[in-house]
Every structure is written in C-alpha cells, then in structure tokens.
Amino acid sequence: MEEIIHRGGALLEIGIILIAGYLFGNLANLIKLPRVSGYILAGIVMSPSLLGVIDKSFLERSDIVTHASLSIITFLIGASLSWSKVRKLGKSIALITFGEAELAYLFVTLTMALYLYLTQGENLTTVVALALLFGALASPTDPTATLAVIHEYRAKGVLTTTVLGVAALDDATGIINFVLSFSVAIALASGTSLSLSSVLGEIAIHIIGALILGTVMGSFMFLLGRFARERKEVVTLTIGTLLLTFALARVLGVDELLSTMSVGITIANVGNAWEKFEKPLENYIEDFIFTAFFVVGSAFLDLEVLLTFFPVVIIYILSRFAGKFTGVYIGGHISGAQEKVKRYLAFALFPQGGIVIGLALLAYQNPNFKEVGAILVNVVIGATVIHELLGPISSKLALTKAGEVTKL
C-alpha cells in the first residue's frame, strides 16, 4: 500500500480523499447524521494511526489544503454577518460571546490547575502557567463544522444567526485570551517581568491589523467584482482574493482567519454585493472545500494520543462545555435573548479544532515550555478527536430542537 501511494503521489491521495469523503458523507446521511461527520470519520479511518492511506509525508505538505480551505470557510462565516441580520441581536451576541468565552477560560484554568497539581507533581509555577494556556485554548469555537451543518440543512432563524455571530467573535476573543495568557505563562516559566505595553501592542497588531486588512481586501474584491459578468469569473476573483489576503496576513504578522473573515463581513455589508458572490461559492466550491478540509484535518488526529491522555482530555472537554453553557445562559439572560438561544446555543458551540491546534503548537515550540508543552499539544489533539466527531451531531441537535432546520 505504501509503495502504491508513494508512486501515485499527492494527486492519488487527493483523489482518494475526495472520493472517500463523498462516500462517507453519503453513508452518514443514510443514518441521519450530517455529511461532515462522515468526512471526519473518513479522515480518521485513513489516517497514519489506522489504515495509513493518508501518509505522514502528505500531511506535512498539506498546509496549502488546510489554509486555502480555512480562508474560504472563514469568508463564508463573515459573509453571513450582514448588519441587517445582526443589528437586533448585537447586544445578545456581544454579551453571550463574552460570557461563554471567558467562563470557559475560567472553568478550564481552574480545573486543569487542580488536576495537574494533584496528579503530575509539577511545581506550582509550572502548573499555573500550563493551566492558563489550557484555559485560553478553551475559548475559541471551531465554526466550520457548525457552518457545514447550517448549510446542509438550510437552517435559518435567531439561533442560527446568533451562533454564527458568536463563533465569529470567538476567534478574536480566544486570540486575545491566548496572547495575554501566553505572555503571563512565559513570564512565570522564565522568571522575567511582564510588559503590559508589549502584550497590548501584540493584541492590537493581531486583531486590529487583521480587521483593517480584511476591510481593504474586501473593498478591493467588491470593486473588481463589478466587472465580473459570469459566475466562473466571480469564483476566480473570490478565491484569488482570499488566498492573497491569507498570505498577506501571514507576511504582515496579523491573524489570517480574522483577515479573511473580515473580507466576508465587508462583502456582506457593501450594497447588495453578497448576492453576486453567494451562489457561485455555494454551487461550485462549498462542498469541495468542506470535504477536503475535514478529511485532511481529521487525518492528523491520533487515536493513540486520545487513549494515552484520555482522563485529562475528558476533564478539559467537560469543564470547557460547562463554562460555555453557563456563559451562554448568563449572557443570554442579561441581554434578553430568546429562551431557545439560552438553552441550545452552547451545543452548537461544542466543536473545536483548527486554530487551537495551531496555538498549542506555538506554545509547544517555545523553549520555556519544552518540558510540559507535549502535555498541552497531546491533550488538545485528543480533545479535537471528540470535539470534531461529536460537534456536528451536537450542532444538528441544537438547530433541530430550536426548530430552525428547513431540510432533513
């Protein structure tokens, strides 16, 4: 098998990935599960830790697949946030995001600190530093799985709009939490003093810079789009702009995902531009992107890691969900959100992956965390297995219970 894959090269693996994703997606539909659950299962089955159809060398070169997919997916999320939709929900989205992100951060930090102190025998300074990083990584939600479910079942309503708004803001909140926690953790681990000005400056560069870049590129895309007469031209322009935005964000040192998301927000709120860009992406690109992203992303997940760190993974998942659920309910109550939002939103925010793995690897690569960074990375990857497998099912359940699914 290895020799065949090696001789066939990357095109063979990409072909297998797309066909397997298609077949597993259809099988998932047969048993009343979202297609994305099938994509994720296909990736795990073909991963190096099981059948090895997708080998490690391909995964090491798969950045272009995941980055291109993320640029389009985050654009679609941003494009769902037109001002007309979120205006009346703005207060709810802001308060709920703050509540669920920060309480997830607090709950995970406290529970992981207690667990690590009692079981790992680490010194108190190291425990606090590691727990702060775990807490920061609990804040973000992976909106990709939820977006895939929303589009598959054509969900519409207050909960759908709220979850997209909250998920979009989650990345920004999570990055702020991570930058703050990472700076404090480094200071604790290295024994150096903490510079508040440098921390705030880094946050400003990551967040504000991304919003500016996304707005500029979205305006650029809108202007060029006025000359596009056919759908195929619109597809070419959209993908080209998003890949360029993602790359420029990396060059400039700002957040890539917020940048491409801001392109979508700009397009959604400039006249009726989104009407021109929506159908070509939905008809020609969306399913291809979801299939490639989830199959390849899931192939990174190692079941051996999940089993090795299973108790820590479960503690992390449960404390994160408890924080999300409590924060949603409190934020929803204060903002006067509808009862179905308070009850079901946390279940649609269950998925997590993508950005948190990248942030965990960033911490792991820092010399100050050489000894304990492996714990952080392995727990996050192990938790991603469960989050990405159960997330689509949880999202579908929430949207169905809320009565916002229009296609079954």
pLDDT tens-digit series, residues 299-327: 877 777 778 778 888 999 999 999 999 99
Average pLDDT over residues 133-157: 81
Taking alpha carbons only, the member of 287, 288, 279, 239 closest to residue 263 is: 239
Distant-in-sequence, close-in-space partners of 67: CB < 8 Å, separation ≥ 6? 246, 256
155 sits in the region (left: phi over 0; alpha: psi -120 to 50; else beta) called beta
Query: What would the two tokens of residue 337 be?
Result: 């959100």
Report the distance separating Cα 136 and Cα 108, nearest Å. Answer: 8
Average pLDDT over residues 346-355: 78
Average pLDDT over residues 191-214: 75
- Strands (DSSP E) along 225-362, which ranges? none
Can you tell me whether residue 378 is helix, strand or coil?
helix
Q: Which of 113-127, 189-203, 331-345 has the lowest mean pLDDT?
A: 189-203
Q: Which of 10-19, 348-357, 398-407 has the lowest mean pLDDT?
A: 348-357
Say what the pLDDT of residue 327 is: 93
Q: What type of residue sits at position 278?
A: E
| Residue 372: pLDDT band with limits 50, 70, 90 | low
Average pLDDT over residues 276-290: 74
Say what the pLDDT of residue 243 is: 93
Distant-in-sequence, close-in-space partners of 53: CB < 8 Å, separation ≥ 6? 1, 5, 13, 16, 20, 45, 46
> How many CA atoms does the CB half-sphere of 190 hold within 13 Å?
13
- Classify residue 53 by its DSSP letter: S
Say what the pLDDT of residue 183 is: 75
Report the distance separating Cα 148 and Cα 138, nearest Å. Answer: 21
Class at the top of the CATH hierarchy for domain 65-401: mainly alpha
Say what the pLDDT of residue 348 is: 86
Is the pLDDT confidence value at 5 over 70?
A: no
Say what the pLDDT of residue 365 is: 64
Say what the pLDDT of residue 3 is: 62
Say what the pLDDT of residue 82 is: 73
Backbone angles phi, psi at 82, to 5 degrees: -70, 145
Our CA angle for 81, 86, 92, nearest 5°, is 125
> How many CA atoms does the CB half-sphere of 364 hold within 13 Å?
16
Average pLDDT over residues 90-115: 90
Is the pLDDT confidence value at 179 over 80?
A: no
Structural contact between residues 227 and 277, judged by C-beta atoms closer than 8 angstroms: no
Say what the pLDDT of residue 317 is: 93
pLDDT, averaged across the chain: 81
Q: How far is CA 194 from CA 133, 221, 408, in A?
A: 16, 41, 53
Query: What would the two tokens of residue 193 be?
Result: 């003093």
Say what the pLDDT of residue 47 is: 86
Structural contact between residues 184 and 194, judged by C-beta atoms closer than 8 angstroms: yes
Q: Which of 1-5, 212-216, 331-335, 404-408 has the lowest mean pLDDT?
A: 1-5
Q: What is the pTM of this model?
A: 0.71
Residue with tokens 């090895």: 52
Average pLDDT over residues 328-353: 87
Q: Residue 115 belongs to what H/E stretch?
A: helix 90-119
| Residue 104: pLDDT band with limits 50, 70, 90 | very high
Is the pLDDT confidence value at 102 over 90?
A: yes
Report the distance separating Cα 184 and Cα 176, nearest Å. Answer: 12
Residue with tokens 């007469």: 229
Average pLDDT over residues 161-173: 78
Say what the pLDDT of residue 199 is: 64
Taking alpha carbons only, the member of 86, 136, 132 closest to residue 113 is: 132
Distant-in-sequence, close-in-space partners of 145: CB < 8 Å, separation ≥ 6? 36, 294, 351, 353, 388, 391, 392, 395
Is the pLDDT confidence value at 22 over 80?
A: yes
Q: What type of residue sits at position 239?
A: I
- Where are the domains positioned within the chain? 65-401
Say what the pLDDT of residue 319 is: 95
Q: Within the chain, what is the greatest distance between any pair of CA atoms?
A: 65
Report the distance separating Cα 399 and Cα 150, nearest Å. Answer: 8
Is the pLDDT confidence value at 165 over 70?
A: yes
Share of the chain above pLDDT 70, in %: 85
134, with CB counted inside 10 A (0-12, 13-18, 19+), is buried
Say what the pLDDT of residue 173 is: 78
Residue with tokens 């693996």: 13
**pLDDT digits 0-9 by tens, 54-72:** 888 887 777 788 788 878 8
Say what the pLDDT of residue 371 is: 65
Say what the pLDDT of residue 392 is: 80
